[in-house]
Structure formats: C-alpha cells, structure tokens
C-alpha cells in the first residue's frame, strides 16, 4: 500500500518536534479522518532556518509532514511557499489516492505557518489556495486496521 519512502519517513520522521518561540506556526486538520498537523518555523533573513512538526495521524500524514519539512528547510519563504502537495507526494514516491489529502495538509500547514510569520511581522498575508480534501472514491479514511504501528506522538 505505501512506498518504501513513505514507510521510511513514517518510521524515522525528520524534524519532528516543536520549536520554542517559533516565528510562525501553522495548524491544520482534517475532520473526516482526524489527522492534525502543526508546523513550526524559525525564519532568519527570509530563509527557513529551522522547521519542525507535530502530527497526529496515519502513516501518510506523518510521512507527508516529515517530507514537507525536508523540502522547505533552508529555502526562502517564497520557495517554501511554492512546495505543493504534488511535490510532497512525488518526493515520497507516491501516495495512494485515498491518502493524497495528507500531502495537501502538509502544503496547507506550511502556508499557514508562513502566513502566521508574515502576520507577526506586519506583512500582508499571501493567498492560500482553497482545495477540498478529497478521499478518492471512499467517503472517509479507512479506520486503523491494527497492522500499522501507531504514529509517533510528540508532546
């Protein structure tokens, strides 16, 4: 079901945790399947100097969170903003159609964190795209089957 790259980022997520006194924080969630993602940014000279995440969700949500931090770290704010859900899914070597919404949450999370930073700096907010969270042909995410270990939880 999942690619080896997804499982690698699920089992050993990169940049998991919290940044105390973060310059920007973005929190997003999907009420249908219960995934909750929080992205923390430290910005220096318009660069994403540090980025961390906390995610409660399935393997795809955790892997998407991990990958978006990898793709954005060290980039300008403009480059980090340009990271799309497709780029996240491609970097993970694919996600099942029913799990593509997880990569969309990662894109939305980084957008919210960047706009939170911009708001704190008194800068105009950038326009966030409004994309519905689609779950393929299924009405909602499949419930845990007991075959996946629970995802990492950072308190």
33 is catalytic: yes
- Collapsing DSSP to helix, strand or coil, 52 comes out as strand
Residues 6+ apart with CB under 8 A from 33: 57, 58, 101, 135, 140, 141
Task: Based on the residue annotation, tell me whether 141 is a catalytic residue of this protein.
Answer: no
Q: Which member of 22, 33, 59, 141 is catalytic?
A: 33
Cα 4 to chain centroid, rounded: 18
Q: Which of 102, 105, 110, 113 is catalytic?
A: 102
What is the helix, strand, coil percentage profile of the chain, to 5? 35, 20, 45
8 Å CB contact between 103 and 89:
yes
> Could you list the active site residues?
33, 102
């Amino acid at each position: 079901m999942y690619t080896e790259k997804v499982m690698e980022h699920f089992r050993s997520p990169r940049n998991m945790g919290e940044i105390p006194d973060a310059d920007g924080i973005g929190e997003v969630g999907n009420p249908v399947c219960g995934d909750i993602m929080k992205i923390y940014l430290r910005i220096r000279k318009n660069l994403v100097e540090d980025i961390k995440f906390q995610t409660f969700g399935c393997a795809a949500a955790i892997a998407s969170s991990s990958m978006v931090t990898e793709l954005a770290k060290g980039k300008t704010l403009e480059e980090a903003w340009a990271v799309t859900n497709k780029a996240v899914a491609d970097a993970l070597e694919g996600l099942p159609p029913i799990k593509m919404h997880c990569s969309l949450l990662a894109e939305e999370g980084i957008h919210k964190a960047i706009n939170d930073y911009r708001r704190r700096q008194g800068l105009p907010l950038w326009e966030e795209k409004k994309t519905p969270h689609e779950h393929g042909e299924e009405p909602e995410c499949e419930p845990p089957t007991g075959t996946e270990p629970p995802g990492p939880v950072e308190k």
